[in-house]
Amino acid sequence: MFQCIGYAAQDAASPLAPFSFERRDTGPHDVHIEILYCGVCHSDLHQSRNDWSNSLYPMVPGHEIVGRVVGVGAQVTKLKAGDYAGVGCLVDSCRECAACTADLEQYCLNMPTPTYNGRERNGEALTFGGYSDQIVVDQRFVVKIPDTLDLKGAAPLLCAGITTYSPLKHWKVGLGQKVGVIGLGGLGHMGVKFAKALGAHVTMITTSPEKGRDALHLGADEVLVSRDADAMAKAAGSFDFLLNTIPVGHDMNPYLGLLKLDGAMAIVGALTPLDPVLGAHLIMGRKSIAGSAIGGLAETQEMIDFCAEHGILADIEMIAIADINAAYERMLKNDVKYRFVIDMASLKVAAAAA
């Protein structure tokens, strides 16, 4: 074991504060990463405050991790010291079930191991995430970040990026299709960029005309204000696919009317109960509502490589780790375009001052 420093929540009510803890030594299949940047996902905020009633403390949040490889185990082939690497929402899985063997570790039938707020597969040690100076992860759960990708804007790709890329690929979004991205936040802004890069005609569907204007700057072709009944009626039956990034339960019925025959809407943000759906809205037009969670490790690497090829990055605001509690308050007010990223160089300063 070796000593690390980070920022942790000690309980649901306390702000995050400096924290010392141990990680395992680099095993034969492990990659030891010096963390340079970590994106701030909404789940960091909710889990640190036990909003989902499943929090384990102390908790070091963070699952949008990029850094530099400083050491690798003897069996590691895909990375070497000096490479840039990324770690997302998972650090392990059973590796044997039907999902794992199909490169869908996120759906591991024996539950994948989350990067934080979980336990290692021995069921004992807590996992600690990316608000820290270093991490040790099995090479299967590490992706390689090409030197050409800006690391700061790449960090949010590890959660927000793959969460939106994977459903667009699964539902075969491409040239000639009309895609609606519902909601403009960390997820929605990546959804617009990916759908556009995949060749689709992209419409931002939002309650806010101001967010609509922002989406045009991100590459959306059109805006549909969902509170405008006339505009919604005009757009009825025109979309092949809807990427629904609304983060809370809501009424999906109005969106189903936007889909074409055989159209599908994928839910990627709402973990809480959704309002009842009128069966007729699905039956008439053979429409589907589905869900999608992040992506497997092979697809995460594919997404990173796609971003390098197409010059896709998250739009970010850099913060120091000492500002994390203030950043959480701003996220509650939707006051971020579109992702906070922590500069981990600030951790040493904060730890020294503590």
Q: Which residues, 6 or more positions from 94, have their beta carbon under 8 angstroms from its beta carbon? A: 100, 108, 109, 110, 111, 121
Q: How many residues are there in the chain?
A: 354
CB of 138 to Zn ion, least distance (A): 14
Q: Which residues, 6 or more positions from 122, have their beta carbon under 8 angstroms from its beta carbon? A: none
How far, in whole angstroms, is CA 133 from its chain's centroid? Answer: 20
Given the complex with Zn ion, which of 240 and 299 has the nearer CB atom?
299
Only one residue has tokens 């699952």, namely 63
CB of 78 to Zn ion, least distance (A): 20
Site string for Zn ion, 105-134 (x = CB under 5 A): ---x-x------------------------
Given the complex with Zn ion, which of 87 and 256 has the nearer CB atom?
87
Say if CB 128 and CB 7 are below 8 A apart.
no
Question: For residues 137-166, which are near Zn ion according to CB under 5 A?
Answer: 159
Of 164, 158, 156, which Cα lies nearest the Cα of 243?
Answer: 164
| 336 is a site residue for Zn ion (CB under 5 A) | no
Given the complex with Zn ion, which of 54 and 253 has the nearer CB atom?
54
Given the complex with Zn ion, which of 314 and 344 has the nearer CB atom?
314
CB of 63 to Zn ion, least distance (A): 5
Of 314, 300, 292, which Cα lies nearest the Cα of 189?
Answer: 314
Burial (CB count <10 Å: 0-12, 13-18, 19+), residue 267: buried
CB of 95 to Zn ion, least distance (A): 6
Of 34, 43, 39, 276, which Cα lies nearest the Cα of 158?
Answer: 39
Question: For residues 33-52, which are near Zn ion according to CB under 5 A?
Answer: 41, 43
Say if CB 195 and CB 166 are below 8 A apart.
no
Using CB atoms, what's the residue nearest to Zn ion?
41
Helix axes 160-170, 186-197, angle to 10 degrees: 40
Question: For residues 78-107, which are near Zn ion according to CB under 5 A?
Answer: 93-94, 97, 100
Given the complex with Zn ion, which of 82 and 123 has the nearer CB atom?
123
Give the Cα separation of 68 and 32 in Å (integer): 9
Give the Cα separation of 255 and 116 in Å (integer): 34
CB of 224 to Zn ion, least distance (A): 27
CB of 163 to Zn ion, least distance (A): 7
CB of 114 to Zn ion, least distance (A): 10
Size of the residue set binding Zn ion (CB under 5 A): 9
CB of 88 to Zn ion, least distance (A): 8
Task: Give the sign of the dihedral formed by CA 150, CA 155, CA 158, CA 164.
Answer: negative
Given the complex with Zn ion, which of 75 and 110 has the nearer CB atom?
110
Give the Cα separation of 184 and 152 in Å (integer): 20
Site string for Zn ion, 217-256 (x = CB under 5 A): ----------------------------------------
Given the complex with Zn ion, which of 136 and 190 has the nearer CB atom?
190
CB of 90 to Zn ion, least distance (A): 11
Say if CB 172 and CB 149 are below 8 A apart.
no
CA torsion 166-172-176-178 (nearest 10°) is -60
**Interface residue list for Zn ion (CB under 5 A):** 41, 43, 93-94, 97, 100, 108, 110, 159
